[in-house]
Amino acid sequence: MGTIARMFRRRAALAAILLPALAAPAVAGAKPPPGDWTLVRKDAFKHYACKSPGKGDTVKLRLATWFNGDDEAIGYGIGLYAAVARGSNKNLVAEKTLTNWEGGYIRTTIKAVRTSDRLWMQGAYYGPPEPWSNGRRVTRITRCDPR
């Protein structure tokens, strides 16, 4: 069995154990970090993004995932999975899995993203996603500091 298949089996087993606990309603006070952000999607967490100019005709995506007050997520090592797809679900130009919670958020940046790409964010407790089919168009993401 390949390493990818083993990874998906482990994630599926973890999801079967943790998903009922994580499916609780979101904390009412959950909000994006300071500044202008787009709510990309909600699962057990809330996922936000904004964009700023990059090199050439690309943009830089800033990502922030709020843990909705679920301290158990930190203890279980659950974090953020983010992917940028270009043209299809199989053409991932960037992919990150992070568990570095700080102040209730996981923050990261993805560079060299085209505005025609799509962004997918989710809690890293289930998968695999279809980032092109279900992702948010980068053109529809708010600029971090609009002028």
**What pLDDT digit, counting tens, does each position of 14-32 carry?**
444 333 333 333 344 556 7
Instruction: Please tell me the pTM assigned to this model.
Output: 0.76
Q: Which helix (H) or strand (E) holds 123?
A: strand 118-123
**What pLDDT digit, counting tens, does each position of 74-92 carry?**
788 899 999 999 999 999 9
Considering the domain 3-24+36-140, what is its CATH architecture? Answer: Sandwich (2.60)
pLDDT computed for residue 25 by the predictor: 38
